[in-house]
Structure formats: C-alpha cells, structure tokens
Amino acid sequence: MSKKTTELREIAKIESERMREANPAQYFERNLHQLGFSDPEHALLQTIKEMTDNSLDATEVGSILPEIIIEVEETSEEITLPPQAGKVRKANMYRIRVEDNGIGIISNKIALSMGKVLFGSKLFTMKQMRGQQGVGISAVILYSQLTSLRPATIISKIEGEEKATRVVLKIDVDKNEPIVLEEQKIDWNKEHGTSVEVFIPARYTDKIDRYILELSIGNPHASFILRKKIEGKKSELAISRTTEKIPPPAKEIKPHLSSIDPGILQRMAEVDKDCKNLVSFLSKHFTSISPETAKKILKAARLSYSLPPNQIKADKVLEVARNIKLRRPKLEVLSNIGEEAIVAALKNRFKDAEFVAAVSRPPWTYQGIPFQVEVGVAIGGQEIANYANPKRITVIRLANKVPLPYDLSDCLLYKTVNEIDWKNYGLELNEKGVPVIPTVFVTSLVASKVPYTSPGKFAVASVEEIHDELVLALQELGRKIREYMYKKRKQESVVKRYEFFKGYYEVLAEEVGLITGGSKVNVNGILRKLFKEVKNTENVE
Amino acid sequence: MSKKTTELREIAKIESERMREANPAQYFERNLHQLGFSDPEHALLQTIKEMTDNSLDATEVGSILPEIIIEVEETSEEITLPPQAGKVRKANMYRIRVEDNGIGIISNKIALSMGKVLFGSKLFTMKQMRGQQGVGISAVILYSQLTSLRPATIISKIEGEEKATRVVLKIDVDKNEPIVLEEQKIDWNKEHGTSVEVFIPARYTDKIDRYILELSIGNPHASFILRKKIEGKKSELAISRTTEKIPPPAKEIKPHLSSIDPGILQRMAEVDKDCKNLVSFLSKHFTSISPETAKKILKAARLSYSLPPNQIKADKVLEVARNIKLRRPKLEVLSNIGEEAIVAALKNRFKDAEFVAAVSRPPWTYQGIPFQVEVGVAIGGQEIANYANPKRITVIRLANKVPLPYDLSDCLLYKTVNEIDWKNYGLELNEKGVPVIPTVFVTSLVASKVPYTSPGKFAVASVEEIHDELVLALQELGRKIREYMYKKRKQESVVKRYEFFKGYYEVLAEEVGLITGGSKVNVNGILRKLFKEVKNTENVE
C-alpha cells in the first residue's frame, strides 16, 4: 500500500471510531436556540410560554376553570453574558415560577415528566393540545441549568392527596435522566395543581405582559395573575376570566386512513396483536372506516379480508383509500374559543373599542386532521391605538389557544389577514396598508395537530385547507366591518348634515328675526326634532 | 371523597400512566416536515442536499478532489398522495442515488451511521462541517421508508479494501436501530467512496439543477454530474471543477472560555479524569488559555489553583473570564473558498458576465467561534439575466459551502445584502430596488458552528459580528463595482461622443465636399483615430 493509501484508510478508521450515539437531551441542549432560547429576552418569554402551555393543558384535561399565577422576579444577582462584538454584556438572574390548579402529576412521575427529554404523554397523541412535541418543559429546565447552574423546583398535588410532593431536580444530560436532589412531602394550600420554578439570566420587556394578555384572549375562561418584581419594583397584572363556561375538552382522535404515511400504516399493522384480520384492523384503528368500507378498500386492493394485519400491503391499501372519497373524520373533537367568548375577551381587553366582532367557522379537516378557524376584530379607541403596531396590520395569532409571538411574516395566520383587501370592507388604509382607524385582528386556529413551521412552535405553515377557511372567516368578518363602517359613516354624515343645517338655519332665523322683528327662533330644538328620527333608526350602537 | 374528587384523581392517574419515553427516531419521524421533508418537491431537494453534504464532508476529511454523481430517476410508478383540499394528488416514485469518492465508512459502522438517528461523529465536534447536527442522512432514510416502504441501499469502500460492502437497511423507528435486510461484499470499480440510494415520491423542478450549480460555486474544486431521467428523458448536467486546489481541511477546535455555558463548563470539569488541577483543566480544554491566564482567572475567581477540576465553580470562573479580554481563538481552523476560486466559479457559471469580483474577509469570531465571510458578484450578460430573479436582489447564500435554498427573508446573508444602498456603488436600481443590469451576489459564511435559525439548516440567524463582517465585505465589493461602473459609464460616454461627432462630421464633410467639389472625406477613419487613444486608456476590460 502506498503512503497515501495507508493515510486514507487510517482517516476512515479514525472517523468511524469517532462515531457515537447521542441522546435527545444532548441534541436539544446543543440546539436550544432553535426552541426559542436564543438570548435573555427571548428565553424569558419562551420559558413562560412553555410553562403556561403545560398549565392550561393540565386544567383542560380535568375541565377545571384555570387559575394561573406567573411570577417573574428579577433578582439582584448580575450575570456576565458571553461578550458580543467585543462588548461585555450583563443580565440579571430571574426567578420564574408558574403555578396552576390543574390535575397535578402523580408523585412518582414528577421527576421523569420534567427531567427527561422526550418523556410525556403528548408525542404519541393526536389531540388538540398546546404542547405537542414532548420537548417544552424539559427544554426550559435544560436551559435553566445550562445558564444558571440551578436546579428546577416542582411542586405537584393531585386531588385527594393530603400533602403535595416537592421535587428539586436537574437533568443528567449525558444520560437523559432526572437527577433528584431533594424530594419531600409538603403542605400546600391547594387541592390540586402544579408549580414549576426555574432560574435563568433574563431581560424583562413588556412583551411578557402582551403575551399574557393575548393568552387571555385565547383562553377567556382562565384567570391570570402576573406578579412582577423588576428593578426592585413590585407590580401585578391581574386578568379575570370573561366567561365561566369551560370549553369542552379536546378529544383524542384516530388517524384518517387517507392521510397516514404508508410506513406508519405498515408498522401499525405489523405490531397489532388484537385484530384477527385486516377488516377489523382497519375499522378499529382508523376514523370513519366501517367494516363495510374496510372490505370495499381491501377488495379494490386485492387483499383478502381474512389476512392477519401483519400481511397488509400498506401501499396497495393507501392507493385505494386515497383515490376514493372516504368519510371525513368526526369533527366534534376540537375545543374552540367561540364567537361570544372572543367578543367578550376583546371588549374586556380593549374597553373603549368602538366595534368588536368575531366569526367562528365550522370545523373542517386537512390531511385527515380536524381543525377549526376563528377570527375577531376590535376597531377604534385609545386602547387599541396604544396596542396596535402603526407600521403593519396588527394580528393576534393563536394556535391551539396559545399566542405565537415570533415569525410573523412566515405565518399563514398573518399572511392571510394581509391578503384580504380591507378597503373593500370599508376600512380606510394608509400608504403602508394599515387601517387608519386603530384596528386589531385576532386569528385562531385549533387543530388536533397544528402544522407548525418549526419545533419552536412560532408560526403556522401554509396549508391550503386552513388558508381557504381563514379567507372565508375573514370575508365574513369583513362584511360585519363593512356594515359597521357604513353605519358609522352614515351617522357621521347625519351629524355633518345636522351641523350644516344648524349653521344655515341659525343665520336664516336671525335674518328672519331681524326682518320680522319677531323673537329669536329655537333652531336647535327644531333641528334636533327633525334629525332625531334619522339618528335613532341608524344608530350604530 | 366526592365524586368530582375521585374523577380528577382518576384523570391525573390516567394521564400519568400514559406518559412514556420517545426516542429520537420517533420524534424526528413525526417532525420530518421541519427538516425540509414537507412535500414531494421539497423532499427531493432536501434528500439531495443531505446526501451531497455527506459526500463533500467525506472527501474533505481526506483532502480528496470530490467527484460526485447525483442520479435522479423518475420511475414509472405513480403514487397517490394524501388528498389536499378534496383533490386527489399524484406523484411519481423517484430513485435518488448519490455517489462520492470520499474516504468511505468502515463496514461495521455503515448500518449504524445510516440507520440510527443521532448516531455519528458530528454532533460532538466543533469544526466547520456541512452536516452538523447528526440527523441529516437518517432523516432521509426515515422519510424514504415512511413514504415508499422501501429500504435504503448503501455501498461503501475504504482505501485498501478489495471489495466494497453493500448494505440494504431500514430503520426500526420504535427501537431507533438499523434493520439490516441484506449485507454482502461486492466488487466496486472505485478505490474508496460511498453511495446511498433511496426511493421517495418526488417532483422534479429545475431547483435541483440550480442547487447543484450553487453547490459548485461553493465548492469549485469539486466535479458534479447530475444524471436525470424525467418523463422518460435522460439528460446530464456535468460541472467540472474550476480549480485543482484542494481547500485546507477544516480543523476541530476547542471551545472558547468566554462563550461556553456555565452548565457545560461545570459538566466538563466534573467528568474530567485526566487533569490534576483547575489550571491544567482550563489550559487543556479551552482555546487560547495558557497556564498563566488560567491562574489569573482562578485567582480573580478566588479558587485555589490546586483544586481538582470537579471542585470548579463554573459561574465564578465565567464571571471573571467574560469580564477580561481573553485572546481570540486561533483563526486558521477554517476552510474558506477564496477570492480567486469564487471569481473562477462565477465566470465558469455565467460565461458572458461583463464583470465578476469577489472579496474574502479575514477570519473573525463570534462567541468564541471562528467564522469567515466572503462575497462575490457577477454583473451583466444573458446568462445572469436568465438566472436572476427580476423581483428581488438575487443572492446565492452559502453556509459552510452549502447553498441555503429556503427561508430567504429570514436569513442574515440575504438581509445584509439588502441593507446596502447599492445606488451609492453605481448600481442603478429599479422601483423594486433590484439592479437594472442583471446582477447575482454570492455570500458565503464558513464557521466552526454556523448559527442556523432552525434544524433544517435553511437560514443563518442574525449575529452582530457576522453582520458587521458581511457589511465590510459588501462595502469593499461595492467599491469594486463602483470602479467598474465608472469605467463602463466613461466608456459608454466615449462611445456616445463618438456617435455624436460621427454624425456631425459626416454632415459637415458632405457640406464641405459640396462647396469645395472635392472628394468625400473619410470621417469614420479620422474619428476612429481620434477616439482610439481615449478608448484604450479607459478600457474597462
């Protein structure tokens, strides 16, 4: 062998020996910025987002009216961050704690559910949920221990237990396992719920308040208390629920046969141990497949009804299933916000709004997955003027009732609002295409599986069916806006006419008075009588 | 216990029992769309991207001139896709194979390196590499078996072996392990290299050709052959290397103390078994830390030099390290493209370009990570006119020499080119801000760790230091453009003057001829002599 040959051989051996297995904790620890933990400002919001996601899910599953306390405390401890562009940067250590009145976690599962990445009940479930990928809270704890070296403290209690369990833990990244530092039973003045506390270097901005406000619009049946201590000053933002009606809990669904991947179908069939034959397999595991439909599909796929499931030919079955019209899945599995609740939440948030409206579309499906779109709008008033962005259309985006704080321009919800020509619906737009009257739109998507564009859950990907439903909802909302704007303009024109006639008649009355020498006519009184009828019938309120 | 109490308790128990562990294969199988496998068109490009990434890395590590063959064959097998918006959609099954002359994989590691998610040598390495996250090729195989049910076929051979090893495998998703279906030694007319073949439903667009062309600009020392068979028609795109100079291989680096996270430092110290004390620990594991600097840091952190590494206080050490000016890391660890190579590649690609230039900045660092920025431009000619997007500035974006095909508007490389006011550099812009003369920019970032915005590696995140270096590079490029445009305009004005005088003198000569009755003067000849000198001294070529 030549020297070169020996060298290349050696390099190949060395490279192969360097290969080893990584676990998900190691992977996500190195990729935390992609989950939203990119800097002290974003990390604070992401931490609160993941914690409140879990809290709302934990109340929803028990049909509990959520009471969520969020504590954001800037400690006096100052941390030096890695220098950037040669500059030394500082941030304060923050204590962040979120407490809920959810169902709680059974004590022997607390450490695993918090301290092991990809451990949870969510990844394998197809059901409308806030957290859906099984990474959220463990990413918070990974980030916290990475930056502050401190453990997380979890307190949880389930109904009927006398004491709560308090666990102080870190994650052993190289093993992807929790390291329990303390565990004890404690008294907790709460019947059930969970509290999670972490420390991270952070930077507070009013995006936090904004996030909680938007969260309350998506969850009008929840109460939120945001307790802050920033620069030594304590303050509190309390948002009460605007409805006592608990939305029906979302239901888990079976997959739809037309949209399942062949590889998944094949695997499901191969591991199935309960079903005797393909007919029972298909009708048991898939939504909207009766034994009759199963037989029809199998016949067209030239597979015998009596074959055991592991003899399936997934590609043949799907070739048939995707070419025939299968029944849609059941749509009553979602938990939407509701028109009334959106209107109430918007009125509560923007108290001096001139006009508030909402539209709920009926549920529909994309790729066999049920989803539902709702939109709302609030127009006019000082509070919206303060809230709305003057440079672009302001859209509160909610996905499974959770605000999406980033990646606006990539998000289907935002893009679709911008697609609509709001001029056609009576909204005057400035040169930037922003409504001249302060306006806030709300767009909400609930789905058994939200098509996010990235694992950080920042934006909704473009899906034709969702887009089409959004357009229909926004057009209907547009018609409500047009009606309001029409009445508003008519009323304004009545007022103008009134003012016009008033001036005219006053002069006329004066002239008549001078000529006739008679007493001054009460022009105002006469005109008011004249216009009263008009104003009443066209009242915009 | 009340009934409600029993219920909530039961729900909590059921939810806790539902929790289970997921492995990375299960996680990524459910999130493949976030890695770029969203539909037949994107999946094809992503597959080729991941395969060619691996091929280029496998040649680079052996300092081999890359010869990469990409086969994209549309088979006649038609697949029905999940219906969208009620419409039945079809795609053809594609066979995709990429073959390289890289170092190859040792036979007993072939199955693991391809068929186990998060297995490889890349995740724990800090070194300029194309693939960096250990998911790429296994994601391709996951997607392939999910959609086509077919296994992947890998052939690999290392130097000095008589036979190659051929492995046909699938991934057992529930175990995250390869399932080897076939394995044998075969003859392969190649000294070393790897070939990977998969089947996926795909849709071919010319984005594939574009991707390979851009890849060749980032890797001018590589030859690519793209063999296509689309709609029954065979065609081939062959791009020869434009330089024989192999770029120096990138070197692995140690982390920089100022930017490491406290949690990582703490863990490194806790698992260290070789170093006797903190001084040797810090100077061994971190770049640019001499024993003297280590002592200085430890002293300021009030830690004894002789403490064993596991007694470190990571927060204290970092508080000091981030507040003093540490030496920058060694910068000669990167493998850049080079100004000459960029110019040669652009001239080869756009053969009738009027002007081509490039600028390489010296290496620099962000957060202790070495990076280097290079930019290039090609202006004018029909080939660029065909290539460039008329609606926005065309920017070929390369990260570690790999094209970034998506997420343009989020990408620092694109955003920074758009920040520059090119009018100041003599480029006339239309109302959309696009240069009137067809123009293509190239931006290249090489780094020991590229700050991607998402796991799909689609866009470079905004990092101040990288941004500043890019601006400097583009400004220098701008000055070259301005110089060229100035000369071009001057020449154009000479031509205009020539044309003007020519007409004027022709009439004059005719008049003079008429009056004098003399023979017609050769105006052209005289003028050409007059302007020749001017043109020569101002020649733009």
The string of pLDDT tens digits covering residues A469-490 is 999 999 999 999 999 999 988 8
> What sign does the CA torsion over A396, A399, A400, A403 have?
negative
CATH of domain B339-482: 3.30.230.10
- For residue range A286-305, list pLDDT tens digits in order: 988 999 999 999 999 999 99
pLDDT the model gives residue A499: 73
Confidence category of residue A517, pLDDT binned at 50, 70, 90? low
Q: Residue A297 CB: number of other CB atoms within 10 A?
A: 24
Q: What is the pLDDT of residue A460?
A: 92
Give the ipTM. Answer: 0.86
Q: How many angstroms separate the CA of residue B418 from the nearest CA in chain A?
A: 17
pLDDT of residue B539: 44
Using a CB-CB cut-off of 8 Å, the residues of chain A touching B157 are none
CB contact under 8 A, B21 and A367: no
Residue B381, Cβ neighbours under 10 Å: how many?
Answer: 18
The minimal CB distance from B262 to the residues A106, A147, A410 is found for: A147
Facing A259 at nearest CB: one of B31, B38, B82: B82
Q: Which residue of chain B is at minimal alpha-carbon distance from A107?
A: B16
* Confidence bin at A541 (pLDDT 50/70/90): very low
CB contact under 8 A, B20 and A124: yes
The pLDDT score that the predictor gives to residue A532 is 60
pLDDT tens digits, A384-395: 999 999 999 999
DSSP per-residue string spanning A254-322: PPBTTTS-HHHHHHHHHH--S-SSHHHHHHHHSBT--HHHHHHHHHHTT--TTS-GGG--HHHHHHHHT
Q: Across all residues in chain A, what is the average pLDDT?
A: 89
**What gap in Å lies between CA A70 and CA A56, rounded to an integer?**
12
Mean pLDDT value across residues B402-423 = 92
pLDDT (0 to 100) of residue A303 = 95
3-state secondary structure of B404: coil
What fold characterizes domain A339-481?
Ribosomal Protein S5; domain 2 (3.30.230)
| Residue from the list B88, B106, B366 with its beta carbon closest to the beta carbon of A322 | B88
Which residues, at least 6 apart from A31, have a Cβ–Cβ distance to it below 8 Å?
B133, B455
Name the residue in chain B with its Cα closest to that of A162. Answer: B1
Q: Identify all chain B residues contacting A121, using CB atoms and an 8 Å cutoff.
A: 15-16, 18-20
Chain B residues with CB under 8 Å of A267 CB are 173-174
* A82 with B452: Cβ contact below 8 A: no
B3-13 tens-digit pLDDT: 566 799 999 99
- The domain made up of B24-239 has a fold known as Heat Shock Protein 90 (3.30.565)
Q: How far apart are CA B470 and CA B477, in angstroms?
A: 10
Q: What is the pTM of this model?
A: 0.87
- Are A261 and B9 inside 8 Å of each other by CB? no
Using CB atoms, which residue from B5, B83, B133 is nearest to A159?
A: B5
The mean of the pLDDT values for chain B is 89
Asked if the Cβ–Cβ distance from A160 to B453 is below 8 Å, we say no
Spatial neighbors of B66 by CB under 8 A, at least 6 apart, are: B55, B56, B59, B60, B100, B101, B102, B219, B221, B222, B223
B16 burial via Cβ count (<10 Å: 0-12, 13-18, 19+): buried
Contacts of A455 in chain B (CB under 8 A): 31, 34, 454-455
- Structure confidence at residue A84 as a pLDDT band (50, 70, 90): confident
Which one of A19, A149, A263 has the shortest CB-CB distance to B314? Answer: A149
Phi first, then psi, for residue A283 (nearest 5°) are: -75, -20
CB pairs under 8 A between A and B: 260
Range scoring the smallest mean pLDDT among A158-167, A321-330, A351-360, B127-136:
B127-136
What is the average per-residue pLDDT within B493-509? Answer: 72
Instruction: Report CA-CA distances (Å) from A4 to A164, B58, B197, B399.
Output: 67, 16, 29, 30
Return the minimum-mean-pLDDT range out of A57-66, A131-140, B284-293: A131-140
Chain B residues within an 8 Å CB radius of A173: 267
For residue B454, the chain A residues in CB contact (below 8 A) are 34, 454-456
What fold does the segment set B257-321 form as a domain?
A: Helicase, Ruva Protein; domain 3 (1.10.8)
Contact A105 B12 (CB under 8 A): yes
CA atoms in the 13 A half-sphere facing the CB of A111: 18
Q: Do A258 and B5 touch (CB under 8 A)?
A: no
Q: Give the one of B148, B159, B322 whose C-beta lies nearest to A81's C-beta.
A: B322
Name the helix (H) or strand (E) containing B17.
helix B3-18
pLDDT at residue B536 tops 60: no
